[in-house]
Structure 1
Amino acid sequence: MTDAPLTDDARHAAKMAKKKAARDKIMARKEGEKGLIIVHTGPGKGKSSAGFGMILRCIAHKMPCAVVQFIKGTWQTGERSLIEEHFPDLCRFYAMGEGFTWETQDRARDIAAARKGWEKAKELIRDPEIQMVLLDEINIALRYDYLDLAEVVDFLKAEKPPMTHVVLTGRNAKEELIEIADLVTEMTLVKHPFRSGIKGQKGVEF
């Protein structure tokens, strides 16, 4: 007497059981924890959004965190309003930029704003109570040499506390930064409404 052929459901269950066993074996070897250097870069949309998603996770877990925004102006965004109005005890928020470079048209002013933001960033990263710091659009400041890349890399390697997460966003992340990062995600651009004449909108861009 031969065994009855497996149904589609049975085949699927057997396949998933094998996958789960392999996954459990891999996960059993993953026990370490450390503060991560995380880079979100690339030409696609979503770099800052991903960073703020992590900040909201920290808030949900009651983990003290902080945000330093480079380049972007001090206009009120949805994430800033939400954090400042409802979670100021858990997340410190600093909008240090003067606006995009084509708005200020003043390199010295842009450099001064970036330096001020970096000094605040170092202070927050050094704070042992803060568990995650988002450096939003710092990659732009590094791209235009508003900040010294070697200084930023050396600081993250030497002075970042072992369990503090630092998230750096912005397109064109420098290779030296990618090299020291633990997690790097590149957002690719497939389509964007801006190219079809659609302006930035609440809830999507800000």
Structure 2
Amino acid sequence: MTDEHDIPAESGPEKVTDPDARHAQKMAKKKAARDKIMATKSGEKGLVIVHTGPGKGKSSSGFGMILRCIAHGMPCAVVQFIKGAWDTGERRLIEGHFSDLCQFHAMGEGFTWETQDRARDIEMARKGWEKAKELIRDPKIRFVLLDEINIALRYDYLPIDEVVAFLRDEKPALTHVCLTGRNAKDELIELADLVTEMTLVKHPFRSGIKGQPGVEF
């Protein structure tokens, strides 16, 4: 006769103790959850993207997306406000090697404390904005980077209401526009689809290090 204590109890799911197997199990669950979320994301639209904040990397990130467009064979364009007088690595690379895919328009003449001429700054900002509108309206161009336009907007060189209205009402549905520069206006942030704020933790300027090629320009 079999004693009831001799019958093994039903056991639950076996506990995984091996770290590699436990990691694989955890990642499999994450992947299943991620795939479920991604299956619901089928929309496509041209984004209004804002890079702002006091930290470094706003323009660098914008130019990173320009290089992605070039790699995908997507026609794109850059309009540089404020920093247009600089000889930058991005400008050299694009004009020297990718001008067939990316137009580069340097419309600024330097930072406001360098020009010290508000009327001239406003004139150049207006020219930059007119060029930007022309490029954004062009159905062949898929991505337009408006580098440092937020500075022009901050100093009221351009009316924020006009910029927001154009991006809202006239930008083609599948055209991406990225606007960089610190102190982005609230109206622009409200309109945008994607906003990233770069925070400042440390900067070499504070230790007496000047801007260096490959890092700053």
The TM-score, its normalising length taken from structure 2, stands at: 0.93
How big is the shift at 1:98? 1.2
How big is the shift at 1:75? 2.3
* Mapped partners of 1:205, 1:51: distance in 2: 14
RMSD of aligned Cα (Å): 1.0
Contact 2:121 2:157 in 1 (8 A): yes
Q: Percent identical across equivalent pairs?
A: 82
Moved more, 8-17 or 83-92: 8-17
Which whole-Å deviations, capped at 9, do the CAs of 1:154-181 have from their partners, x for residues lacking one? 0000000000000000000001000010
Q: Do structure 1's residue 91 and structure 2's residue 121 form an aligned pair?
A: no
Select which of 60, 71, 74 maps to 2:85.
74
* Mapped partners of 1:186, 1:4: distance in 2: 43
Match of 1:60 in 2: 71
Contact 1:41 1:171 in 2 (8 A): yes
- Pairing 1:14-163 to 2, within 5 Å after superposition: 14-163=25-174
Which whole-Å deviations, capped at 9, do the CAs of 1:6-46 have from their partners, x for residues lacking one? 31111111111111100000000000100000000000000
Q: Do structure 1's residue 178 and structure 2's residue 189 form an aligned pair?
A: yes
Assess, with a 3 A threshold, how the Cα gap between structure 1 residues 5 and 58 changes in structure 2: closer, same or farther: closer
Assess, with a 3 A threshold, how the Cα gap between structure 1 residues 105 and 29 changes in structure 2: closer, same or farther: same
How big is the shift at 1:54? 0.1
Q: Secondary structure at the match of 2:56?
A: coil
- Unpaired runs of 5+ residues, structure 2, are 1-7
Q: Secondary structure at the match of 1:66?
A: strand
Contact 2:52 2:196 in 1 (8 A): yes
* Mapped partners of 2:194, 2:50: distance in 1: 6
Q: Secondary structure at the match of 1:167?
A: strand
Assess, with a 3 A threshold, how the Cα gap between structure 1 residues 11 and 194 changes in structure 2: closer, same or farther: same
How big is the shift at 1:4? 6.7
Q: Secondary structure at the match of 2:27?
A: helix
Q: How many matched pairs?
A: 206
* Mapped partners of 1:101, 1:75: distance in 2: 13
Based on CA coordinates, which of the two structures has the bigger radius of gyration?
Answer: 2
Residue identity matched to 2:77: A
Q: Which 4+ runs in 1 deviate beyond 3 A?
A: 1-5
* Mapped partners of 1:43, 1:75: distance in 2: 20
Select which of 180, 185, 188 maps to 1:169.
180
Residue identity matched to 2:142: Q
* Mapped partners of 1:4, 1:97: distance in 2: 64
* Mapped partners of 2:103, 2:161: distance in 1: 26
